[in-house]
Amino acid sequence: MQRTLSLPIGLLDEHPHWSDRLIAELRRRGLPFEKIDVSDHAFSPGGREPRYSVLVNRVSPSAHTRGHASSLFYALQALTYFEEIGIPVINPAASYRYEASKAAQALLMERLGLRYPRCAVLNQLERILGLLPAFRFPVIVKPNVGGSGVGIVRFDRPEDLEEAVKRKDLSLGPDGTALLQEYLESEDGSIVRIEVLGGEFLYAIRITTDPTAGFNLCPADLCQLEGRADSGVPAALGACPAEISPAVARQVEKFEPPPSVIADVLRLTREAHIDIGGVEYLRYKGDGQVYYYDMNALSNFVADAPALLGFDPTRRFADFIVAVATGAVEPTSRSAGRVQAPPRR
């Protein structure tokens, strides 16, 4: 039986289409909802009456590629406000801090003792020159604020990177911070994305990539780069691990990761307060070891998910939203530190 809600579900978003499938599912169930455009929004700290039964954070760091740069920083304030007035938030402010910072992700992986590509965080391009002796090539330079991989550039030779630094051709991104990171090639030409929901393993997919097609590894059908004409960044340099384009990936398939990897991912997402999201990893051909390299507190899910996975993850997402809205389960913003359920097999 469908539970009824006394207050609508709030969807904090700025993208015109990324929530379409979720909205269609909420409508199918007859659930009240409101899409909140975080690119044009205001709140009063004194307004303490909750207007939503639950708030679902759907804000992406790629907002600045759609002319919504202010959303990147405003979203954190809005999320904090919604939490403080007592609205349960799915993917709360704590998770958004990891979503919007590759440096924070690397720090978390380091703290948990997980393998990740060697990197350094910097706020002046010239700093790269002094860091180069400690790095193996190839390397990439990427903005700290990710989002569709805007600004990621690979360098195979030190002299090419040195020249790019001298020409100031590299982007430090919206927050003026970037990472210098070793580029690790997977041993089988693929990466794996694991999706989690509510502290449990949801599914995993393996994406066989074309290394000549850039960094766009996204497996949902709505994650194409927009606004590239005025960004100065070639579309081939974009990367969003949730929609696949035939020019970028040759194959997406359901995958069963080792239990140890699932356990690592659940640790990562629990520590990052991620209720729904994905973690990506590869097995490095240099040593055969697993390396985690990206975390996403936003999921559009793989394209044609029911056919590929055998179930519809959007429906399970809606189930979770309703469970949080009715108090049947708690999001990470309220249950942090508690023992999480084991992954569903």
Q: Are residues 255 and 198 in the same domain?
A: yes
Indicate whether 197 belongs to any domain. yes
Indicate the range of 115-119, 122-126, 284-288, 334-338 predicted with least confidence: 334-338
Question: CB 41: neighbour CB atoms within 10 A?
Answer: 15
In the prediction, which pLDDT does 195 show?
Answer: 97
Let me know: does 13 contact 37? Beta carbons within 8 Å.
yes
Let me know: does 102 contact 179? Beta carbons within 8 Å.
yes
Distance of CA 125 to the CA centre of its chain: 25
Q: Are residues 193 and 302 in the same domain?
A: yes
Using CA atoms, how far apart are residues 88 and 335, in angstroms rounded to an integer? 10
Indicate whether 37 belongs to any domain. no
Q: Are residues 175 and 198 in the same domain?
A: no
Does residue 278 sit in helix, strand or coil? strand
Q: Are residues 140 and 215 in the same domain?
A: no
User: For 86-104, what is each residue's pLDDT tens digit?
Assistant: 999 999 999 999 999 999 9
Q: Are residues 192 and 291 in the same domain?
A: yes
Using CA atoms, how far apart are residues 304 and 294, in angstroms rounded to an integer? 23
Q: By residue range, what is the domain housing residue 269?
A: 186-311
User: In total, how many domains does the chain have?
Assistant: 2
Q: Are residues 307 and 234 in the same domain?
A: yes
Please give the angle made by the CA atoms of 186, 307 and 22, to the nearest 5 degrees.
95
pLDDT band of residue 213 (cuts 50, 70, 90) is low
Question: CB 312: neighbour CB atoms within 10 A?
Answer: 14
Residue 130 sits in a domain whose CATH number is: 3.30.1490.20
Residue with tokens 């697993």: 290
Indicate whether 80 belongs to any domain. no
Radius of gyration of the chain (CA): 20
- Report whether pLDDT(172) > 50: yes
Indicate the range of 40-54, 135-149, 228-242, 261-275 predicted with least confidence: 228-242
Residue with tokens 């959303």: 71
Indicate whether 173 belongs to any domain. yes
What pTM was computed for the model? Answer: 0.86
Residue 300 sits in a domain whose CATH number is: 3.30.470.20
In the prediction, which pLDDT does 304 show?
Answer: 85
Indicate whether 84 belongs to any domain. no
pLDDT band of residue 71 (cuts 50, 70, 90) is confident
pLDDT band of residue 69 (cuts 50, 70, 90) is confident
The mean per-residue pLDDT over the stretch 258-287 comes to 97
User: For 217-252, what is each residue's pLDDT tens digit?
Assistant: 555 543 444 433 333 333 332 334 344 444 444 589
Using CA atoms, how far apart are residues 239 and 142, in angstroms rounded to an integer? 11
Indicate whether 341 belongs to any domain. no
Let me know: does 91 contact 298? Beta carbons within 8 Å.
yes
Q: Are residues 142 and 172 in the same domain?
A: yes
Q: Token digits for 213? A: 């097609």
Q: Are residues 283 and 226 in the same domain?
A: yes
Q: Are residues 161 and 196 in the same domain?
A: no
Using CA atoms, how far apart are residues 117 and 153, in angstroms rounded to an integer? 15
Indicate whether 238 belongs to any domain. yes
Indicate whether 129 belongs to any domain. yes
Let me know: does 222 contact 18? Beta carbons within 8 Å.
yes
In the prediction, which pLDDT does 62 show?
Answer: 83
DSSP per-residue letters across 225-252: ----TTT-S-GGG---TT---TTTEEEE
Q: Helices 20-28 and 313-325 meet at what angle, rounded to 10?
A: 70
In the prediction, which pLDDT does 94 show?
Answer: 96
Helices then strands, each counted (H, E), the chain: 10, 13
Q: Are residues 161 and 248 in the same domain?
A: no
